[in-house]
Amino acid sequence: MNLIDDIVAEHAALQAVRRDLHAHPELAFEETRTADRVAELLVRWNIPVHRGLGRTGVVGTVRCGSSPRAIGLRADMDALPMAEHNRFAHASRHAGKMHACGHDGHTTMLLGAAQQLARLRDAGGFDGTVHLIFQPAEEHGGGARVMMQDGLFEKFPCEAVFGMHNMPGIPVGQLAISPGPVLASNNEFRLTVRGKGGHAAMPHLAVDPIPVAGAILQALQTIVSRNKKPLETAVVSVTMLRAGDVPNVIPDHCEMQGSVRAYTAETLDLIERRMREIALHTGAVFGAQVDVEFRRNYPSTVNHAAESAFARRVAEEVFGAQNVVPQVPIMAAEDFSFMLEQVPGCYAFIGNGDGEHRLPGHGDGPCLVHNPSYDFNDALLPMGASYFVRLVQRWFA
């Protein structure tokens, strides 16, 4: 592994920053303390700071030389609304909030890169501009889209943009990169079946919405198994079902909600169309009305071919060719996808291991993202920071 010595020397300091962020998690668009900490460190390294994009977003700019070329490096800052089960010293101090996805580590890796880029700037170590994008609200709220709506790439134009996420299950010391779709789109639906309430003992006088909902639920599963092309991947999951208040009353409505994941817009269009057709026509058969709401949250994360090939070459230099592996697409979603729709780039996955790094006092659950026993592996800090810096150096070379 070919890490940058100056970054390795800062490992203890970076770990302290990461654990401080972990102990003080903040939810989407509430990342004021985190943004203050990021801005404070950037200013300390004489990096100009712009604040307010996406409400709590921070952009630091490192310019060196005279080239008009520029790229962006992005990290997310927000935490999740969930309780932490870990009991080590840097566990969350805020009930119901936890850095359970490693955004504390992502932010710290980009800070480590920022410090080294400032050193290189002062030594004339590259020729170009780097925009360091610290983004809020990845988990809920689409902070990337909000930053872009506030003019992110108009104020800070980029030829390409690069991001990274830790991945439990991939060994520490490996980086996974693939072109094309690597994460699915994130979409939600709500179906409300409106019937006619009545006495449970006289169902013939009512229009019971519950069996209507059951018929719709069963039919929805045929979209994936019978309408979608077999070689295309998609998920339709009904995850919530609500109806009724008392045992002897047929309710007048039943509500179901769920999630849809897909890699292509064509597949997503098919799913939404069939869902509406199934819901409306099934309701009509039973004499009920069905309201359909379908919300498209995050598009699929699609890596660009040229930028992915470039990132892979850089990763091989940092991690070693044998430690750069393909990323098998997964059905989770990521709002870096909005940035990749506007600017070419690549989203990589850095191995977080299987949890052996966790200190005594961690929870009893697995070290998986969105798990109350998760913790970011601090061994990754100099690896991710070195990768970011090498991206800059090789891009402008």
**Average of pLDDT values for 7-24?**
98
pLDDT in tens, 70-93: 999 999 999 999 999 999 999 999
Distances in Å between the alpha carbon of 179 and those of 30, 173, 176, 382? 33, 20, 11, 25
80 neighbors 139 (Cβ within 8 angstroms): yes
Q: Residues 166, 248: one domain? A: no
Amino acid type, 139:
E
Residue 169's pLDDT band, with cuts at 50, 70 and 90, is very high
**pLDDT average, residue stretch 308-324:** 98
What CA–CA distance (Å, rounded) separates 66 from 126?
10
- Per-residue model confidence (pLDDT) at position 279: 98
**pLDDT score for 42:** 98
Sheet with strand 253-262: strands edge to edge: 234-243, 253-262, 185-194, 289-298
Do residue 159 and residue 189 come from a single domain? no
The two three-digit tokens of residue 76, written as one number? 């997310």
Residue 358's domain comprises: 5-183+300-396
What integer pLDDT is reported at residue 84 of this predicted model?
98
Q: What is the DSSP string of 206-240?
A: SB-HHHHHHHHHHHHHHIIIIIS-TTS-EEEEEEE
130 and 211 part of one domain: no
What pLDDT does 133 receive? 99
Q: Point out the domain boundary residue: 250, 269, 298.
A: 298
Position 213: which residue type? A
Is 193 found in the same domain as 175? Answer: no
> Taking Cα atoms as reference points, which of 198, 180, 146 lies closest to residue 264?
180
- Please name the residue ranges forming H helices in the chain: 5-9, 11-23, 32-44, 103-122, 143-149, 152-155, 209-222, 265-286, 305-319, 336-342, 381-396
End-to-end CA distance of the chain: 21
Distant-in-sequence, close-in-space partners of 290: CB < 8 Å, separation ≥ 6: 191, 192, 193, 194, 212, 216, 279, 280, 282, 283
Q: For residue 38, what is the domain's CATH number?
A: 3.40.630.10
CA distance 280 to 277: 5
Query: Residues 249, 344: one domain?
Result: no
For residue 391, give the amino acid letter: L
- Which CATH number characterizes residue 232's domain? 3.30.70.360
pTM of the model: 0.95
Tens-digit pLDDT profile for residues 361-374: 999 999 999 999 99
Residue ending a domain, among 267, 298, 329, is 298
Tally of domains within the chain: 2
The percentage of the chain sitting over the pLDDT mark of 90, rounded to a whole number, equals 100
Give the domain-ending residue among 298, 323, 349: 298
